[in-house]
Each structure stands twice: as structure tokens, then as C-alpha cells.
Chain A
């Protein structure tokens, strides 16, 4: 029963939503709008689930004294402070805004900014023209990187000032994005889409049951 009911619900709603997608009938559209309202109500429960999982994970870390368990205490401190202030005073409260602007915002921005340093270091170490394919990748990366900033065209226009061809680096970058990149990406999209369709059919028909948990 624990497995049959979810499987039946999945089948009924899966088929019903496919049907509403292709039927303009008023009843079909009413069902569609009704289900969307239900989904809007169910959606926020994902946040509750995420919070519970976060608490469980970090409680386990503290209890087992795993490596760097002290940081889990920081997680709880941050979570408690923001939730208490947010619920009590609202997100437009001056303390909440101060914490957001002076703690969360700079920390988030710093984490992302650090990538620039690691990318530079990784590029220096890893980008080697060892094979033909690697050389091609290297050359493409250099063209796209330089075409992505005005410095590329500036250097080109300075060196090639005698020629009638201006801004060729940004044009080359655009060509790479518009042609080889676009073709490869479209292939990936088609492949992923076909995979999603087949997986959806398997779930609706109850062939794929891993989402129910607990093995088969």
C-alpha cells in the first residue's frame, strides 16, 4: 500500500497533465489551473525539507565530532539569528538588512571572486598543448577570452592598424559561440531532452521507482 498509492497518484497526475497540455477544453484547462495552485502550495514544503536536512546533517557532524565540526556551530548560529530576526521583524528590518549587506553579501561575493585567482593558477598549470585536440581547445579558449574583453580588439586594431580588418578578435569569438559552440550545445540539449522524456515515461508507468526510496 505504501508503494501502490504513490505509484497510482504519479500515474494519474502524469497522464492528466499530459492530457491538459494538448486539450484546450475548458474542463482540461480548469484541471490544469487547479493543479498549478496545488503545486504552488506544495512547493514551499521543499524549503522545510531542505532546512530539516541541513539541521540533521550538521547535528550529526557535531555529535560525531567529525573534522571541522566547529563550523557546524557557525551554521546554526547564522541560521538561528537570520531566521529569528527575519520572522520577528521581517526582511526589511534594519538589523536584518544590516546583517545581509555586511555579512552575507560580502561573504558570498568574496567566495565567487576567489574563483578568478584559482582559474588563473589552474590555467597556467593545466592548459598545455600536449595533443592536437588540446591545442585546438587552447587556441579557442584564448580567442574567446580575448574576444570577451575590449583588450582583444584593442591589441588587434593596434597591431593590424595597416589592414582594413578591424575588431576581428570579438568577431572570431562571436563566430565560435554562434557556430561550433551552438551546434555542440544543441546536441546536448536534444540528448538531455530525449533522456528526460524517456525517464518521465518510465516514472509515470511505474517502471522507474527509485524516487520512492528504499530500493526496489
Chain B
């Protein structure tokens, strides 16, 4: 049986729309890599500094925005200072809006609790440049304010003053962060990535080069669960559940028809 692919498309659309309308809520258990990530951030004292690299564009925001939001909420709740940067050329507008949204909700003050430095070209060059002097890469923040005039940047020069670097990524930027920031400068790194590249990250988790790992929309849902702020991640993982189930059912149906067809031919 060769099902018209338009039927498959309609089934996928229904598997997305119906659970959204019904607001299904399946229980989400927390995986070990997510727990490690959360515990590491939770153990940081107030006044610590986290640098978050938002290395994704609009195509991956559905998976990565929810986990970025949950982490920002946790940081602002714990008085952890946040330095935001991006290595993705199409990200600054998106990320600036995201940080400001969470900051407004948590009443975080720009320049004191957080700063967004924006985008600079050259992936490896930026990572290495931050290791020597952040101001050599970013002389101003995203708003054009000189780094020297930003209160929270007064005592931050390079990785030595950054307690954790988090990379939210939809590509292989994490490997660059590990090779140049972790190996060369011993910077602690955690990551949140899209489901497509999660399988590549486990060797780094096992070696301790990543202190924690969030996996796609599941990681976002788990982190929202831990932070106690259920939002889009929790909503969308339930929707994704039905799409995954549909694909598994389609694979099973495809195989049953394949074997029936083969036995008839024999």
C-alpha cells in the first residue's frame, strides 16, 4: 500500500493541532544531563556571572527559545549576572527581544543584571578574543553603549571572571566553544541544543567538557519543570509526543504492508 503523501501531511497537521487545542499534559521526567545543568547553575552563588551564547536563528527558535527563557528566569531569580552574545548573524534582533522580555518579567536591570553584546563576525576569532579581552571583540554592547561604561562589565575582562558559559546552539558552534574556550581557557561550559544534533554532544558530556546538556524541546520542558515555570516547552513537548507517536505508527503500518506485499510476491 502506497499512501498518498498528502494524507501523511494532513495526519501530521492534525497531530499538531488537536493536542494544542485539547491542552494535553503528560508528566515529564527529568533526564540526568538536564539535572546536571540545573544543579550546576543552582550551585552558583548570587553575584556569579554566566555568559550565554545564543547561537541560533529564527529557524530553531521553537526549540531553543523556551530553554533560554527558563535559564534566564533562573539566573535573574538567583541574582546571577548574564552576559548575552551571539555568533549567529540573524539572531541579534530575536535575542535582544527575548532577554528584554524575561528581564521585564523579573525586573532585571540592563547594565547591572544583564547585558547583551550582540553579534561579531568570525566564530573562532570571537571565542579566542573573549579569552584575551572581551573589550577587544565587543567595544560596545548591542545598544551602542561603550563596554567601559557598563557597570556590570567593570570587573569582567575575559573567561577568568565568567563562572559558566552556556551555548544554545542549532549547529556545531558548541564544538568550537569546547575546543577553544574549554580546552584552551578551562572555561566551564553547558549546552542546550536542537534535537537534530543532540547525539553529537554525548562524548563531551561524558568527558566533563560539558557540565550539563539540554536536548531540544524535551530539554526545555524538563528545565521549565525544574525551574518551576512551565511555559512553551511543556506545551510543545506534549504536541511533539503525538507527532512522534504518529511517525512510529506510520512506520509500523508501512512495515506491515511491506511484509504482506512481500509474502504475496513470494
Query: Do A150 and B59 have beta carbons less than 8 Å apart?
Result: no
Q: Which of A2-10, A54-62, A101-109, A201-209 contacts B (4 or more CB under 8 A)?
A: A101-109
Give the number of residues in A that approach B within 8 Å (Cβ atoms): 57
- Chain B facing A: main interface SS: helix
Query: Do A117 and B250 have beta carbons less than 8 Å apart?
Result: no
Query: Do B255 and A149 have beta carbons less than 8 Å apart?
Result: no
Closest to B13 in A: A117
Is A28 among interface residues, defined by CB-CB distance under 8 A?
no
Query: Do B203 and A123 have beta carbons less than 8 Å apart?
Result: no
> With A and B bound together, what is the CA distance between A37 and B126 in angstroms?
10
Query: Do B128 and A100 have beta carbons less than 8 Å apart?
Result: no
State which of B9, B125, B137, B221 has its C-beta within 8 Å of the C-beta of A121: B9
CB B12 to nearest CB in A, in angstroms, measures: 5
Is B240 among interface residues, defined by CB-CB distance under 8 A?
yes
Question: Which of A39, A46, A92, A149 counts the most chain B CB atoms within 10 A?
Answer: A149
Question: B113-146 vs A: 1/0 string, CB under 8 Å?
Answer: 0000000111011101100100011000011000
State which of B57, B122, B143, B240 has its C-beta within 8 Å of the C-beta of A39: B122
> With A and B bound together, what is the CA distance between A59 and B245 in angstroms?
46
Query: How many A-B contacts at CB < 8 Å in the complex?
Result: 163
Given A36-B125, A40-B136, also A112-B26 (CB < 8 A): no
Chain A residues within an 8 Å CB radius of B195: 148
Give the number of residues in B that approach A within 8 Å (Cβ atoms): 68
Which residues of B are interface residues toward A (Cβ below 8 A)? 3, 5, 8-9, 11-13, 16, 26-29, 31-32, 57-62, 89-90, 92-94, 96, 120-122, 124-126, 128-129, 132, 136-137, 142-143, 195, 198-200, 202-203, 206, 215-216, 218, 221, 237-238, 240-248, 250-251, 253-255, 258-259
Which residues of A are interface residues toward B (Cβ below 8 A)? 33, 36-37, 39-40, 43-44, 46-47, 91-92, 96-97, 100-101, 104-109, 111-113, 116-117, 119-121, 123-125, 127-129, 138, 141-142, 145-146, 148-154, 167, 170, 174, 177-178, 181-182, 185-186, 189
